[in-house]
Amino acid sequence: MKKLLLALAVALTLISGAAAAAINVNTAGADELAQLDGIGEVKAAAIVEDREANGDYTALNDMTRVTGIGNKTVDGLREEATVSDSAE
C-alpha cells in the first residue's frame, strides 16, 4: 500500500509540474501553439505570422492583434501561455 501511495504521489507531482510549464508564445512554433486551448492550426500559424511581421508580444493581451483571437481567448490562455521564460 505504501508503494502505491508513493507511486501516486510521484505521478501527481510529475503531472502538476508538466502543467506548470507555460508555453512561450514568442518562441513557440505553430505546432506547439496549436496545442493551447482555443488555438488550433490556423490561429497558431496566424500567431507566428503576426509575430514575424510585428515583433514579439510584450503581454498576452497583444495576441488580440491576431484576427480571431479576442480577450476571452487570451483570458483562457493565462495559465498555460506566457510571453517570457518566466510566468507573466
Q: Is residue 67 in some structural domain?
A: yes
Q: Is residue 76 in some structural domain?
A: yes
Q: Is residue 5 in some structural domain?
A: no
CATH number at residue 51: 1.10.150.280
Domain that holds residue 52: 22-82
Q: Is residue 10 in some structural domain?
A: no
Give pLDDT tens digits for 8-57. 566 665 554 445 589 999 999 999 999 999 999 999 999 999 999 999 99
The pTM score is 0.73
46 SS3 class: helix
Q: Is residue 35 in some structural domain?
A: yes
Amino acid at 65: R
Q: Is residue 29 in some structural domain?
A: yes
22 grid coordinates: 507555460
Instruction: Give how many domains the chain has, as a whole number.
Output: 1
For residue 6, is pLDDT > 60? Answer: no
pLDDT at 41 (0 to 100): 97
pLDDT confidence band for 86 (50 / 70 / 90): low
Q: Is residue 46 in some structural domain?
A: yes
pLDDT at 11 (0 to 100): 60
Torsion of CA 62, 64, 70, 74, to 10 degrees: -30
Q: Is residue 72 in some structural domain?
A: yes
